[in-house]
Amino acid sequence: MIQPGDRFPEVVIQHITDKGIEKTDTHTLFGTGRTVIFAVPGAFTPTCSERHLPGFVEKFDEFRARGVRVACMAVNDPFVMQAWTRSQAVPDGLHMLADGNAELTRALGLELDASAYGMGIRSKRFALLVEDGVVTRVFVEAPGEFRVSTAEHMLERLG
């Protein structure tokens, strides 16, 4: 599992933009500056759609005011992420990332086997702070929890 002090893995990922779906590498997204990346087990799932993403949407301007980019990732295909982005009124600048084959999730060591629920391999619910390509904070939720990866928790930990 990724730890503070580790370089953020370099993986090509699908980035949902106002122009559509674009492939980009994580070095371009996370190589400079400060970014909070949070992951949800699945777009359109209850906690993810009712609390997790909405919390970051609501607090997005506070992150921006602190000079911190925000990215949301899920192991879903880019078309699902595009539809979820629209349905959640995600503001411009909040990066939505589709990790359809769980490549980034596996590189981070944060995969979750949700096969028992018919969902296959997904991402654990987590939030990371990445500064100039290096992970400085790691918060991974215990199964069924939603406490340490919230927008509020991350804002408190930015310093």
Tell me if 135 sits within 8 A of 104, measured CB to CB.
no
> DSSP label at 150?
S
Tell me if 55 sits within 8 A of 151, measured CB to CB.
yes
| Catalytic annotation, residues | 48
Tell me if 1 sits within 8 A of 106, measured CB to CB.
no
φ/ψ region of 146 (left if φ > 0, alpha if ψ in -120 to 50, else beta) reads beta
